[in-house]
Structure 1
């Protein structure tokens, strides 16, 4: 009998414990303070290693948030494929144009206010350009990174042509740079050399870098009307290019290849930690860098370069959690990690973080790293025009090089050809 009573008492205790446990579980489920784990899907181009460096590593600092990478190709078609599979991302990282076309952007203004996010922590020039992405001036994204730029130069070629190295304490103007390039274009010991390249393959001369510093539209953002002849900034750029290509022997349409990497170009304009990609130590020892040349009347304005946007989608069911991911991405801790490694430039306003850009990159040891920080990115005062993509500047430059036409005729033809393309695009829509 005693054994039976003991068994009954034990059973009663088990039953009561189960009831209490069930109540606690039910209450926990109703407790708004207990957060459930949420998976934030992020559409992202790069492979797994780059994903982990730039985004995936954030997960360790995010409470109850898991991150899932959805590969895509930065195109409208690629995003449409993802949507068709009902695998819609909460965040998209990439060019803004496909997101605008598909109308999937959630403006961040309200989320910024709700989360009491300090916008002043982000570089003001970058944020002005973010606001220029739409007519309304809303904050439709956070910039993914801030690119840095430099004019790299080969001391051996400067020595060969008897030219002084660029002054590291004074930034050259574009006129000074193109005149210097002309002096180092020619044949030496049976080898042809060029003074300046702006890209790895057949990119000779200043390219569009001077144009990027002007940050001016070539078309009206609303109407698509082309306006180059009456825009003094654009005219200034085309006049500079006409002057550059007027130098004897400065260009040959047969030239091709990566002349700077081959040791046949004196100067090379590129972004980010280019020097850290060079494996040949002797070649690396012959190189250094100075700031990208500037327009004389705007000496502190560096090139504008379009950045990838970090967008929260308007259909996401987890917008608050998605914004927490963006907050973690732009946090000082994460930005310092990625900028020190040289993975990307920090978007923050803090100058001390910029000074640490690529500080752990071996190729930059002993080089003039201050070149990266000499200028602020150029800022668009108006909405950035989507119609500018129909203006074929490269073809106009080719006409300057190859055709016996004056600059006025070339600009007029560029306006006419661009207007026809834009009209066709508008009618297709």
Structure 2
């Protein structure tokens, strides 16, 4: 396990368009960027020193009568905070650009260092060995990190520093509250960004086979499958595949499906009709002529799209691809790709997949809780969220002016149809329990049965349900109630 120091240079952001800049200036001067009624910024400073700031009540409510009786102001003294990412795709180029560099630029006394665990080290091992001050998580780790007991209740800090939670997009804040359902009035996470889905497509493959690109309007799955059929073929020994979709777990995001029920942990595959539709859609994709490749390979993902460049279309998360594509570009590898709206079922057009919540939290064992929360508040300010938006992440806060700047600072998105990121309304992410995480491999097994095991939809669905319930029974003996 090592802790790598990250670069601390100032951010060199381009100027926003005049109208956007003017609007942001008005918003920031009004204090909306911080959630405070003064002009001090999200963590109580407008100068970067933090020396004279005092937190106030959230924007839209009465000002605090006095600053907190005792708290540590960010930037008063030299400080190093440690940061650990428990899940999701968060390469160093994004960590530096979105967190380490802007914080150090505003507070030269403050350095954010990233904990980089050794390969195959579990979150539990890291959190029992090290004490990261700030924890970055997503739905693929929230439930398990909750079980470690390291999340600090953020309610006292929200009140102490006058952090305005009403600025956070409702679908993200509702999810944050859902995590602590039945745990009292606690908050364990602050949403960092909304990780939305898009349809990536390789224009070179479309051009090679003379097929028109996907439209800028949301299409149905049936429409996209017809396009994929024209692009799935083997030419000169290269096997091209028209469509990759992150399989059953990815397709289920379009209907907001949970694998298990929250009260018992049992399978929902037979009780929720959405799962039958999802299995049927998966089967349609796998049955595209020529889809299954040499050696029965069928499980296509990021590497085949980004590195091999043999996938014509891929429906997936923004965060799963944009940062890695920028890293690839910096290594000198580029290709001609673009973005279209993610497809959905015909009766669900206008709605996109669930927006995954990437979040920031405080370790309850951190000796720097006040400062860690002030860093989080800075990142959630309009200034911090503008940096995030310009560099390819969808802001967590409600502010159309920030979304209008999406992708303007990250080279890999220049010239791309980034407006298609915002076509359709994303669903609120469902609560992903430790049971969901523990049984998810049954969906991969089911997809494999459909792809190369000769299974029909009903058999694959029934087998998956049996496997999920068996796994759930085992989990109950180790995890207890869901």
For normalisation by structure 1, the TM-score amounts to 0.77
Q: Which residues in structure 2 correspond to 1:8-407 (within 5 Å)?
A: 37=77, 39=79, 41-45=81-85, 51-56=95-100, 57-61=102-106, 66-67=110-111, 69=113, 71=115, 73=117, 75-82=123-130, 88-94=131-137, 95-136=141-182, 138-168=186-216, 170-188=217-235, 191-198=238-245, 208-252=249-293, 254=295, 255=297, 258-260=303-305, 261-270=307-316, 271-272=318-319, 273=322, 276=326, 277-278=328-329, 284=335, 286-304=336-354, 306-316=356-366, 318-342=368-392, 344-380=393-429, 383-389=431-437, 390-391=439-440, 392-407=442-457
Q: Which moved more, 1:148-157 or 1:290-299?
A: 148-157
SS of equivalent to 1:196:
coil
For 1:247 and 1:153, the matched residues in 2 are separated by: 18
Structure 1 residues 189, 53: closer, same or farther in 2, change over 3 A? closer
For 1:280 and 1:72, the matched residues in 2 are separated by: 21
Give RMSD over aligned pairs.
3.3
Report if aligned partners of 2:391, 2:408 keep a CA contact under 8 Å in 1.
yes
For 1:227 and 1:243, the matched residues in 2 are separated by: 22
Residue 198 of structure 1, CA deviation? 4.2
Residue 397 of structure 1, CA deviation? 0.5
Q: Which residue of 2 aligns with 1:15?
A: none
Report if aligned partners of 1:122, 1:348 keep a CA contact under 8 Å in 2.
yes
For 2:71 and 2:114, the matched residues in 1 are separated by: 30
Name the structure with the higher helix share: 1
User: Tell me, which stretches of 5 or more residues in structure 1 are unaligned?
Assistant: 1-30, 83-87, 200-205
Structure 1 residues 298, 109: closer, same or farther in 2, change over 3 A? farther
Q: Which residue of 2 aligns with 1:202?
A: none
Report if aligned partners of 1:212, 1:303 keep a CA contact under 8 Å in 2.
yes
For normalisation by structure 2, the TM-score amounts to 0.70
Residue 301 of structure 1, CA deviation? 2.9
Residue 118 of structure 1, CA deviation? 1.7
Residue 328 of structure 1, CA deviation? 0.9
Q: Which moved more, 1:250-259 or 1:305-314?
A: 250-259
Q: Which residue of 2 aligns with 1:12?
A: none
For 1:72 and 1:131, the matched residues in 2 are separated by: 29
Count of residues in correspondence between the two structures: 383
For 1:52 and 1:190, the matched residues in 2 are separated by: 40
> For each residue in 1:134-187, what CA deviation from the matched residue of structure 2 results, as whole angstroms up to 9, or x when unmatched?
33384321123333443222334334444322222x111112112221232224
SS of equivalent to 1:324:
helix
Residue 100 of structure 1, CA deviation? 0.9
Residue 259 of structure 1, CA deviation? 4.1
